Structure 1
């Protein structure tokens, strides 16, 4: 198929409008060509549409992936589990304190006659023939007890004991290197009575002789102490067994008197502790 250069649509030249001198267009060929172009265009559109569809699918997939595996900031915040969410722990045995509680303080027994029921005699108060106090060793030489407390007192101590209803007096004498002390432990009905005797104290318990200890501290100056614990009063008198006075500057005699008081105090604490421990074991 050929066209004249003067008319792209196959018409005649400028001299005529389609006269016998120009060529006639091949309409069938033109229709065929037009159809071929339209088919080609539809094919490219279909290919392009398919590409767009593929991109859209890929985009959807990508969005889905990001939604599941995005940054932690895009995820919902996670709260700590509540106590109800936690697994329950296995049951634990209930603690028992029946045998584990510490015993009551010894003073609880020493001040209460209803609880202070242990045997009370020279054997329980002064059980040892040899004692050591602060590294110093003493030998027991004599023991004594009486329910007439004034009989074991001298000076103005007797009236003080009687006024506060002293029930019994226990005494023991210990000796070391020519120095002796007599420890007196008086028993009262209450802590109040024992404290009153300590406050109104006047010397003193009478020294007790026996064994290798002669009568001492009767007519010369000696050293004395007084104390109370619970319903008990404690008294000591100390001096030289050869009759030498124990004046204010006699430090050895003072030390012996203090050792005697400390020994008596420790014996009472031991008494209270034993009773408290026995009750704790029985309870």
Structure 2
């Protein structure tokens, strides 16, 4: 719009500026206009009031934790009510989303959430899923879940997820994946997570691996996994015991129902692999 174009001329423009910002560890200088920023954002308004109360109206406001590029996007939206994100990376968009929420700019939060939904791919869905969970963004999380569950066979890197989120995935009835592939995913993720946290895999994998439905596998596949498990112990012994019991006694004899995964099989049942009847 014409208005947005005219307002953009004031963006980081020293002309008639009455506030300065020093952004990032190198304290890059930005110019702003208090009346615009205060009208658009309560956090900025509070900063300016605080400056007045401390009689520091000529001192630059220092935001060392924020990146200059992110701050520039923030100012662009506040001045023009528009933002061009085509050239921004997923990481930049996520950082800006967190800032929008921190600064209480809900309209920008909605724009960024929608943009991330359109950006979803097998390469970034885990990062966006974890972000949505961390920030409490239900709509974004639900879109990630839908995408992730249908494409999990083709996703190679789950390292952005923490243990809580990995358990949420592995416990789902709706995953379009077989159990052998799911074990591969858990094992690869566990190695990465262990390297990041310096915690041995067997100490955090039990709550995740207990959701595996090993009773769906052939006996030779279970035996193969059991042998592999001797190296890292990521699958609890009782999960293997239940699988062998099912093969020996059948589902009714084992007192357990194991539902194949996928939309055509999914039901509203408890998500534990060992759905024992009590």
| Fold shared by both chains (TM-score > 0.5) | no
Q: TM-score, normalised by structure 1?
A: 0.19
| Larger RCO, structure (CA 8 Å, separation 6 or more) | 1
Task: Specify the structure having the higher radius of gyration (Cα).
Answer: 1
Task: Report the structure, 1 or 2, having the larger helix content.
Answer: 2
